Structure 1
Amino acid sequence: MHRLAVPILLTTLSSALAHTQVTVVMPKPAATVAAPRTIQLRFSEPVNLRFSTFRVVPLVDGPSTDTAALKALALKAGDPRLMNLGPQPSGMAAQLSLRLKPGLTPGAYLIAWSVLSEDGHPVRGHSLFRVK
């Protein structure tokens, strides 16, 4: 009986540990591009955008990218440091397009996100790109 319980437990744990992931980011991580008009994010499963946060900010020298991402996520909508425009998206989606302010200046930019995984756990991440 114990032999059967182990595979069931492992299957249950692996399912419980599966969190939503961002599978595609455009511009691609570390890419150098002309100033984009939008950022594209694709998720491994639909997420509730109402409980998600997305920020695009210029990357400044100083803190690590992890720290910079946390600071970006703490910015309020409408903060002048934000490069993404528009209202907070809502509904369920497996992909998202974020409009950007026109004419991004050359330099490094940070895309930061926090989404609520289907199992209720928050998932944070970030990506960098450069504007030439």
Structure 2
Amino acid sequence: MNKFLALLTALVLSTTLAHTAVSSISPALNATVTAPKAVVLKFSEPIEVRFSTFRVMAMPAGQAVDAAAKVALAEKADSPKLASLPLNAPALAAQVSVPLKASLKAGRYVVAWTLLSEDGHPVTGHSTFRVK
């Protein structure tokens, strides 16, 4: 019985402490694609979109992905430096479609996000894709 309670406690704690994650992204990590109209992110659980930030930006030459992601997240949603357009999504969503500007130029792009996990912790991440 004690083993059962320990297992149950561990399961409850691991579920409670789990952070929201991006379960899939399209275009996929490091994919080479024709210019997409949007980047689609799916999450392990619904997120509060109003407390989340999503940015897509062309990768500056010679810049590391982590640094480019930080630069992208620092930009305002309507910045001309971004390839993404301001997001118009429901308040709570398990999937977000980030619209992109028309006619993306060939090159590498970083997708960066910060979202608020259900447990109140921020989750930051990034991905990249290449436009041919």
Q: What's the TM-score, normalizing by structure 1?
A: 0.89
Q: CA offset at residue 79 of structure 1?
A: 1.0
**What 5-or-longer segments of structure 2 have no aligned partner?**
none
**Inter-CA distance 87–30: structure 2 relative to 1 (3 Å threshold):** closer
What is aligned with 1:129? 129
What is aligned with 1:86? 86
What is aligned with 2:54? 54
What is aligned with 2:120? 120
**What 5-or-longer segments of structure 1 have no aligned partner?**
none
CA–CA distance in 2 between the matches of 1:86 and 1:77? 5
CA–CA distance in 2 between the matches of 1:36 and 1:4? 50
Q: Deviations over 1:94-118 (max 9, x none)?
A: 0011111000000000000111011
CA–CA distance in 2 between the matches of 1:66 and 1:103? 25
What is aligned with 1:106? 106
Q: What's the TM-score, normalizing by structure 2?
A: 0.89
CA–CA distance in 2 between the matches of 1:86 and 1:17? 31
8 A contact 1:56–1:111 mirrored in 2:
yes
CA–CA distance in 2 between the matches of 1:13 and 1:68? 35
Q: CA offset at residue 89 of structure 1?
A: 3.5
